[in-house]
Structure 1
Amino acid sequence: MFTLRTTREEDWPQLRTFRLENATDNPVSWTATVDETLRIPEDGWRMRARRGGQPDTTSVVATDDETGRWLGMMCAQIGDAHGLEPVLTGVYVTPDARGRAAGVTDALFESILRWAGSRGTVLRLWVAEHAVPARLYYARNGFVPTGRVEELRVLGREPQPDDGGLLEMSRPLTGATTPVAAAL
């Protein structure tokens, strides 16, 4: 069992530990190497943790009910360089909490949909081209490629020939309060 909640400033040590796990497991998804992640100062972590309570951002974490361990996290913000629509960011679920049976990813995503649905009509995201499981998850949940592609940049290392790019995907929010995959 797990509980969802938004992050708070005092969560910064757990957030740091979680993002270090993310950078170790898949630096491309975090877009920073472990070394770069270690360089983020305390005030940077505190700012990231406060996103859970800001009007133009959210940061939702799933915590294990028995241990308090962070199992997953999704964030969203209003707009980016490509538009004012809500944008899903900061997605990471620990390997042992992934999959439909665990329910962590779907629960986090449902929370983001509720937040974004009151702030726009479209939810956008950027996903690594080679992240096939993530792309399949998003497609099952109504996301389609927009045609925008950007270079994948990982802080702390030179681009690699096999990095691929970042693909933008979007889905309508009108009336959407639960993941499409849950209804199938």
Structure 2
Amino acid sequence: MKTEKLVIRPTTEADWLKIRDLRLKMINDTPIACAETEADALAHDETEWRRRGAQGSRESSITVAAIDEYGNWVGTMGSYIAEPSVGPLLVGVYVSPEFRGTDVGVTDTLLSAVEEWASNNGGRLTLHVHEDNVKAQRAYSKRGFEFTGHSVEYSLDPSSREVEMTKELIPAAA
């Protein structure tokens, strides 16, 4: 399957149910890639999920979704500016297992959309990935991200760390 059968688009507030369902799938598939537990996610009300959906088109954030030809949400990725000195932070990265791999292209297509936004909002994209998630670290390295040598405490387990990676971006042509 190639990405031409997928729709890649920014999320909206109205997408809240799909966003919630995909987030729960993400947490169950790769818990160390998330900063919340399933119980935390289930405790959020509709207002919180609508807020997350609206991040798809806010000035200081972007969230994009990959939707297959049958309307199934198969991936998502977002970025926001938490601190202007750091610039865009890549978050909420998830692609359903059956849509993973460079031959499919879902990850690359989602990342391209986020990078285009980030290139005009700081020129560098930063991410934090769990120190034990070596597969994700390799995937990011293949896509041009480099380790900075910095790390942050993993929010769900203070005894472990998330390592920081960045990618310098070229601003999109006007």
Q: Would the TM-score normalized by the shorter structure come out above 0.5?
A: yes
Find out whether 1:123 has 2:125 as its counterpart.
yes
Letter in 2 for 1:165: R
Find out whether 1:18 has 2:18 as its counterpart.
no
Q: Which residue of 2 aligns with 1:148?
A: 150
Give the one of 77, 81, 84 matched to 2:80: 77
The one-character-per-residue Cα deviations of 1:86-141 (angstroms, maximum 9, x if unpaired) are 11111111111111111100000111111111111211111111111111111111
Q: Which residue of 2 aligns with 1:169?
A: 165
Give the one of 44, 61, 73 matched to 2:48: 44
The verdict on how the C-alpha distance between 1:122 and 1:165 changes in structure 2, with shifts beyond 3 A counting, is: same
C-alpha distance in structure 1 between counterparts of 2:77 and 2:172, whole Å: 17
Asked if 2 retains the 8 angstrom alpha-carbon contact of 1:113 and 1:176, the reply is no
The verdict on how the C-alpha distance between 1:115 and 1:175 changes in structure 2, with shifts beyond 3 A counting, is: closer
**Unaligned residue ranges in structure 1 (runs of 5+):** 178-184
Asked if 1 retains the 8 angstrom alpha-carbon contact of 2:82 and 2:89, the reply is yes
**Unaligned residue ranges in structure 2 (runs of 5+):** none
Number of residues paired by the alignment? 169
Find out whether 1:133 has 2:135 as its counterpart.
yes
C-alpha distance in structure 2 between counterparts of 1:48 and 1:166, whole Å: 23
The one-character-per-residue Cα deviations of 1:75-96 (angstroms, maximum 9, x if unpaired) are 001234x834111111111111
C-alpha distance in structure 2 between counterparts of 1:144 and 1:176, whole Å: 21
Runs of 4+ in 1 over 4 A off after TM superposition: none
Greater CA drift, 31-40 or 53-62: 31-40
Report the alpha carbon displacement of residue 160 of structure 1 after superposing the two structures with TM.
7.9
C-alpha distance in structure 2 between counterparts of 1:76 and 1:21, whole Å: 20
C-alpha distance in structure 1 between counterparts of 2:44 and 2:13, whole Å: 15
Q: RMSD of the TM alignment (CA)?
A: 1.7
* 3-state secondary structure, aligned to 1:167: strand
Give the one of 86, 89, 114 matched to 1:87: 89
* 3-state secondary structure, aligned to 2:52: helix
* 3-state secondary structure, aligned to 1:83: coil
TM-score w.r.t. structure 1 length?
0.86
Asked if 1 retains the 8 angstrom alpha-carbon contact of 2:55 and 2:62, the reply is yes
TM-score w.r.t. structure 2 length?
0.91
